[in-house]
Structure 1
């Protein structure tokens, strides 16, 4: 029993070193690291890892193989699927945004995509990949949980809406013209006051 316990304790530092080698050195604490086979990945979403519904968000994946070498998109046959949570295993993905090479921080041409989440709530991003010819890492699947906040309530204005808004503001700032009878009444009232003053002076 004791030899087995000693062997288990001696393997703990090796496991820790493996996890450390798969973890990007500059990953922020807010970023969750996922490991599949011999690949580690960290999800980054711009801006500020705070996606909002209805607004495009730039997502990119920092992928590293065992030993810390980064994986570029050209070296990986990668696919991204977005699911609304909860979902069943047989359910088709809500979105399958195309992946494009992104250069960010110390990663060059890493897999990235622009995602517009349709509404607030919980989503799962599933990144699957296998090596292209000449590469030697194992096929992997990394799943990340993402919470999407409510988008801005500001509705984008078309040129027609902008012109209408400007015209409405112009109408509101202009005082409405006085009717003709009001002008005539004011004139007669002024003349009456002048005549009354003149008659008092004559007396």
Structure 2
């Protein structure tokens, strides 16, 4: 019993680290493979799981685009467009690789509309990430 409780407590911080951001009835749970940040000078896997009115929707049900801006989103800055594919561990998620060279703050912007009109309202959700130091 103690071992099970210890294991659960060890897993809770990782599960709680995922950030959920909402726009109307649409919510996105963002995650990275770098402890909810971005590694500098190396590829970082970023992804999201989308829910509408509390129900998880498949990536193909949304015409979504995931953009990465250095700092805050701006019309003057060309974002990095992240090429998305179904999640490896979670087919209900979408993931893509991104590489940043400079330390700092970055903003993920998830913009989308339904693949089938009327399924949900178009949305734009922003999520701020910071870079993490690389450790050998």
Instruction: Work out whether the TM-score is over 0.5.
Output: yes
2:104 corresponds, among 121, 134, 143, to 121
Over 3 Å off, 4+ runs: none
- Deviation, 1:30, is 2.4
Residues 65, 103 of structure 1: CA spacing in aligned structure 2 closer, same or farther, 3 A cutoff?
farther
Secondary structure of 2:81's partner?
Answer: coil
**Structure that is richer in helix per residue:** 1
Higher Cα Rg: structure 1 or 2? Answer: 1
Root mean square deviation of aligned Cα: 2.2
Q: Counterparts of 1:82 and 1:126 in 2: how far apart (Å)? A: 6
| 1:21-40 map, 5 Å | 28-40=15-27
- 5+ unaligned residues in a row in structure 2: which ranges? 1-13
- 5+ unaligned residues in a row in structure 1: which ranges? 1-26, 155-203
- Deviation, 1:69, is 1.5
Contact 2:86 2:92 in 1 (8 A): yes
2:40 corresponds, among 47, 53, 62, to 53
Q: TM-score scaled by structure 1?
A: 0.54
Q: TM-score scaled by structure 2?
A: 0.78
Higher RCO (CA < 8 A, seq sep 6+)? 2
